[in-house]
Structure 1
Amino acid sequence: MTGVEAPAHTFAAPDLSDAALAAVTAEIAGTAAEYDRTAELPWAGLRAAHRAGLLTAAVGRQYGGPGAGPRDVARMLTAIGEGDASVGLLAANLLLTHAGQAAHPSWPAAAYDDLLRRSQDGPALANAVRAEPELGAPARGGLPKTTATRTAGGWRLNGRKAYATGGAGLAYHVVWAVADEPGGDPQRPRVGHVVVPGDRPGIAWIDTWDHLGLRASNTHDVIYSDVEVPADAFVEIPRGPDGVYRDPAAAAGPGSLGHVSLYVGVARAARSAFAAFARERVPAALGRPIAQTERIQTVAGEIDLQIVQAETLLHGALLRLEAGDQSILPELSAVKVAIARSVIAATQAAVAALGNPGLSRHHPLERHLRDALCIRVHPPQEDAVLLAGGRRVLGT
């Protein structure tokens, strides 16, 4: 490697065998119910994923990481999500951050080096902080009210964001903002992300997260008040050839299937919980486990069918991308929606068949159902996907 500087950090490739991933799933699952009750950040699950090397698996080779590709990332997130969906969401945001930096380096060098340094010792979380209370998610269009104002030494960040997953546990925020700068066009300002250390003065959290599912994800609101960052912290997002800014989350891409992957894990967890209950439940009138009845066997088959369908769509799409088949790109949004439907159908089938036990907080199926329903909120959302697909088919 003469003439090439060695990476400052080294991260070993994780064991991605089925047995190793199953062990991580089991360890994470051991604390999932308690974190769901307390809504505290699931540090035990995150540490388990970190020890297994999963949280740094997507660090690029140029930075000393394994450089895991989309299919391996999907397998890891499915395993983590099967253990705890909240850990899966936090891990997905981090892994996709590392994968994005590996493919298209954009972070300030010192900031990314610091994130990697922190990652040597334990979970160091990062996430794109984009939604706002008035605007909602940016995939529907519009520009943020959050501003990055140019100063003599860098930028000053001001604004309020909603749904900032990771909360005060974030080592780094990647904040969507418009540039307020001398000579800028106020009608068409530069748009970008501001890379902000989570411990910077001026960051205040508002505990707004009281959600149906993913309760331990700490997806709270955050206020930035005159947060000072250096000049290279603003990373511009280019406009399209027509000069219009379009949010990259408005259409699915290879990275967006990472979030979908964790919910496939939730469906798997629901299948396991359903099977365990069916084997153990022996009604007095029946005298044998309900697992031995054709009714429950048929439901189990339906659950399995939906999961097989979701996994085949997920990995089939990723294999086509891996092979260089670009023709699937316009179809990825529809793939995301189809996987979401299968995940929810599998989980709802399990709950419906068990009746009251499936809706009781004493049984994990109730938590899995709540978590599975959250797949719908990830962009692109179903109505936008169906509208775009219909227009494409009809040529309108």
Structure 2
Amino acid sequence: MIEKMHRWLEENEEKLRERGFHHDREGSFPTENFTALQEAGYPGITVPEKYGGMGASLTEFLKLQQRLASADGATALSFGWHAGMIKHVDTYDLWEGDLFEFLCREAVKKEALFNVAATERATGSPTRGGKPQTTAVKQKGKWVLNGRKAFTSMLPVLEYAAVTAVVEDTEEISQFFVPMNEEGISMEETWDSVAMRGTGSHDLVLENVKIPLQNRIVPKQQQVEPVTGWLLHIPACYLGIAEAAFDYAAHFSTTYSPNSLDGTISEVSHVRRKLGELELLYRQNEGMLYYTADLWERASPEERSGMKSQLAAVKHTVTNNGIEMVDLAMRITGARSLSADNPLQRYYRDIRAGLHNPPMDDAVIAMLADEAAKRKRFSE
């Protein structure tokens, strides 16, 4: 099934790319891309096989995401939250009760899409520890939710969301499984970013939304802290975007022949140097991403708990190297890379969005500094 999905992406790559560029230019949501992926069964890639899904390993998931991102980064990043979170919940068996099985079967049978709605403008990124202002109150046998969530990627086509809220009686922070067709749910189209324009990351508004009591997501007790290996979908996405820029520049350099040259510009020394640098950066990114994914898959839960800095370093490295790759591709292509019709100007905008996905560069460097201070290189 995974190989079939790769073949489908290869066969449909150009259509995904064309629609992605159209919607990027229009500032609209690429519904057609999501519909096509749903019809192909993509929402089930990380759903466990026992629930009818493909049960992709972490490495298989990342390779699919890289391939999708090389066609349309916004579509890939959005789908990554859905498939990645399902992978995470399954890996650690995080949820009590039947909600996860229900979600998985909906993703397979109805191609339902899911995301976590956690970010709020007043609190900033959830990774910084801000307390949500969204509230949950128990009334007449129901949970009643009120609040607003920002940056809810894929919101125009979401069927379900895990909404974080504060339970008013206890001040606990909890997640609630919310169907997007409930009364009181609306979308405010606030997403006006110049990067990743097609993610549909609008505001989710909840006004007296009533859900069953059993829709509170109760986390299972864990012997070790769950580690978010699934977040490698973020660097996988930016690797795909950088790869697309590299491919474009390489093709351009081997086909463009100004009348001042006998051959193509790929034979000019400074262009050759940039192509070599692109190849080196690409190999560094791919090697680090998939080496780490393999380490994570082979590791025990206890060993994974010590991999936080490794995972963070991958995101930092791949994103920043990817930005450099797009810059090199634009230098090879020249001023035409700034044309609105040229794909490189979109890759330039989209890949910079990676700087603002978790974990942030400053947090990664601080984490690595802590580890460096503890390192013992020489015995006394």
Which residue is equivalent to 2:204? 222
- Rate the CA distance shift 1:160–1:18 in 2: closer, same or farther, 3 A: closer
* 1:160-198 deviation per Cα after TM superposition (whole angstroms, max 9, x unaligned): 1111111231111111111123xx2xxxx2211111111
In structure 2, C-alpha distance between the alignment counterparts of 1:76 and 1:378, rounded to whole Å: 20
| Counterpart residue number, 2:193 | 211
Change (3 A) 1:40 1:116: farther
Q: Is the contact between residue 204 and residue 223 of structure 1 (CA under 8 Å) also seen in structure 2?
A: yes
The question of whether the paired residues in 2 share the 8 Å contact of 1:174 and 1:195 is answered with yes
TM-score by length of 2: 0.89
* 1:248-288 deviation per Cα after TM superposition (whole angstroms, max 9, x unaligned): 8xxx7311101221111101111111122223322232353
Which residue of structure 2 lines up, in the alignment, with residue 317 of structure 1? 292
The percentage of aligned residue pairs carrying the same residue is 25
2:131 is equivalent to residue 156 of structure 1: no
| 1:266 to 2:241 alignment | yes
Q: C-alpha deviations, 1:290-336, integer Å up to 9, x for none?
A: 22323222212211211111110010001111222625343221222
C-alpha distance in 2 between matches for 1:259 and 1:338: 12
User: How far did 1:392 drift?
Assistant: 2.7
Amino acid at match of 1:45: N
Whether 1:331 aligns to 2:310 is: yes
Q: Which moved more, 1:50-59 or 1:340-349?
A: 50-59
Moved more, 339-348 or 107-116: 107-116
SS, match of residue 15 in structure 1 = helix
Q: Whole-Å Cα distance in 1 between the matches of residues 4 and 276 of structure 2?
A: 27
CA deviation string 1:134-178 (max 9, x = no partner): 111111112101111112212101111111111231111111111
Tell me what 1:279 maps to.
Answer: 254
Contact residue 192 and residue 237 of structure 1 kept, 8 A: no
Q: Distance in 1 between matches of 2:65 and 2:222?
A: 32
Residues 317 and 328 in structure 1, CA contact (< 8 A), matched pair in contact too:
no
Aligned to 1:192: 174
The Cα shift of 1:345 comes to 1.3
For 1:123-138, list aligned pairs within 5 A: 123-138=111-126
- Report the CA distance between 1:339 and its aligned residue: 1.4
Tell me which moved more, 308-317 or 16-25: 16-25
Q: CA deviation at 1:118?
A: 5.9
SS at match of 1:256: helix
Task: Determine the C-alpha separation between the residues in 2 that align with 1:124 and 1:166.
Answer: 12
In structure 2, C-alpha distance between the alignment counterparts of 1:107 and 1:284, rounded to whole Å: 68
The question of 1:301 aligning with 2:276 is answered yes
TM-superposed deviation, 1:69: 1.1
1:209 Cα deviation after fit: 0.8
- Write the deviation string for residues 84-126 of structure 1: whole angstroms up to 9, x where unpaired: 01110121011013213323252763685366336434x4221
In the alignment, structure 1 segments of 5+ residues that lack a partner are 1-12
Is the 8 Å Cα contact of residues 190 and 203 (structure 2) preserved in structure 1?
Answer: yes
- Unpaired segments of 5 or more residues in structure 2? 376-380
Aligned residue for 2:259, secondary structure, equals coil
Q: Does the 8 Å CA contact 2:107/2:113 hold for their aligned counterparts?
A: no
Structure-1-length-normalised TM-score: 0.86
Deviation track 1:1-23 (CA, whole Å, cap 9, x = no partner) reads: xxxxxxxxxxxx33258655433
Aligned-partner SS, 2:167: strand
1:15 aligned to 2:3?
A: yes
Matches within 5 A, 1:1-396: 13-15=1-3, 21-103=9-91, 104-106=93-95, 109=98, 113=102, 116-117=105-106, 119-121=108-110, 123-181=111-169, 184=170, 189-236=171-218, 253-324=228-299, 326=303, 327-395=306-374
Q: Give the whole-Å Cα distance in 2 for the aligned partners of 1:66 and 1:271.
A: 31
- Give the match for residue 3 of structure 1: none
Q: Bigger CA drift: 100-109 or 26-35?
A: 100-109
Preserved CA contact (<8 Å) 1:173 1:196: yes
Give the paired residue count: 369
Q: Contact conserved, 1:139 with 1:379, CA < 8 A, in 2?
A: yes
Across the aligned residues of Structure 1 and Structure 2, the Cα RMSD in angstroms comes to 2.5
C-alpha distance in structure 2 between counterparts of 1:265 and 1:24, whole Å: 16
Query: Counterparts of 1:63 and 1:111 in 2: how far apart (Å)?
Result: 10
Residue 316 of structure 2 aligns to a residue in which SS?
Answer: helix
Could you tell me how far apart the structure 2 residues matched to 1:376 and 1:16 are?
33
